[in-house]
Structure formats: C-alpha cells, structure tokens
Amino acid sequence: MVTSTDHINAIDVPALAATVAAVQEDPAKARVAFKVGTIWEGQTRSRSVVESYELAGQSIPRSFEIIADEPVELLGQNSAPNPQELLMSAINACMIVGYAANAALRGIALTKLEIEMRGELDLRGFLGLDDSVKPGYHEVDYVVRISGDGTPEQFEEIHRAVQKTSPNFFNLNSAVGMNPTLEVI
C-alpha cells in the first residue's frame, strides 16, 4: 500500500532512495546513455526520434518524436518550437526534475514550481556575417519560482543542489566537448 509519505511531489521516494543506494553500491548502475536521431523534413523543419536509452548496460525501448521549426520571420513555417526554445525547454525540464526530487527527498511538498528562461542571440553570428559575433548565447537568465511547505533556507539549499547536480545545467554552463563525424552518403 502506498502512503502519502511514500510519494512526495508525485515522486516515489522509497524508489528514489533505492536507486541512490544501488548506484552507491555499484557505480556501473550509474551509467546512462541517451541517443536522438534527427532528420530534415524540408525548409527549417526537423523531426527527432527517440527510440531507446541505455541504463546500466541495458537498452530500454522508448518511442517519442520531437518536432522543431523556425518562426516565419526566420524562414520557417512556425509549426513547432525552434531549436533554441527546445534547448531552453530541455534545460528547464531537467532542472524541474532536480527541484522536485530534491524537495521530495527532504520531505518538502511543493505547491508551485516553474522556471522561466531567456537568452538573446545575435543573428550576425549565425549567418556568418561577423566573425567577432558568437553564434550562441553569451549568457542566459532564468528565474525559478517555487513554493511549498519548506523554509526559505531549505529552498535555497535545493536551489544550490540543482545547480550542482542538474546534467543540463552543467551542459549549458560548462564547455562540453563535441566530437563530430561527417558521413557523405
């Protein structure tokens, strides 16, 4: 039987604790690999497909599609979020998991959790018009709005924990090596 203390923020706290214990006992269980394939569908539209991921050496099937497009003003059809919006969505979603899980592990029930992120690009970099202009963000700003039965100090502790442990926060906040291979087919 599941009691209210077993699930906080709809997270199965005993299962989360068991996962933490299993990974502490056997670091091989911590290995997780994700893969996404993306195909061009014409103009600025693309379709990404998620078919599986690997956890502790085992392939686990999944089936999702993610569509991306640009707004009309950026030569797209405005049929889906653009890659920058998807990037921000992915970072926000990753951090949301961190806030909810960290709060649950501390016994804190959340009543509200939202993240708003904003970044500004200069199209001269993307268009290759000025080599001194970076094609990406110099920085992004985000605001976390959180409430629940925790104290301000507990929420600050959770905030620091998410910044320390969120994979996508790390990926955007750090230089991550890219290893490209070109296959002309």
The boundaries of the domain holding residue 112 are 82-175
Q: Give the predicted TM-score (pTM) of the model.
A: 0.90
- 10-residue averages of pLDDT along the chain (185 residues): 70 92 92 96 97 96 98 96 97 98 96 98 95 95 97 98 97 92 95
Tokens representing 24?
Answer: 């502490």
Cα–Cα separations (whole angstroms), residue 175 to 72, 170, 171, 178? 32, 9, 7, 9
Q: Is residue 29 one of the residues assigned to a domain?
A: no
pLDDT of amino acid 181: 95
Tokens representing 165?
Answer: 């442990």
Q: Is residue 75 one of the residues assigned to a domain?
A: no
CA distance 15 to 5: 12
pLDDT of amino acid 4: 56
Q: Is residue 107 one of the residues assigned to a domain?
A: yes
Q: Is residue 121 one of the residues assigned to a domain?
A: yes
Residue 116, C-beta contacts closer than 8 angstroms, at least 6 positions apart:
142, 143, 145
Task: Give the angle 67-73-77 at the CA atoms, nearest 5°.
Answer: 35
pLDDT of amino acid 1: 33
Do 45 and 29 contact (CB within 8 A), yes or no?
no
Q: Is residue 17 one of the residues assigned to a domain?
A: no
> What kind and span of H or E run contains 58?
strand 58-68
Number of domain units in the chain: 1
Q: Is residue 12 one of the residues assigned to a domain?
A: no
Q: What is the CATH number of the domain that holds 105?
A: 3.30.300.20
DSSP string, 73-122: GGTS---S--HHHHHHHHHHHHHHHHHHHHHHHTTPPEEEEEEEEEE---
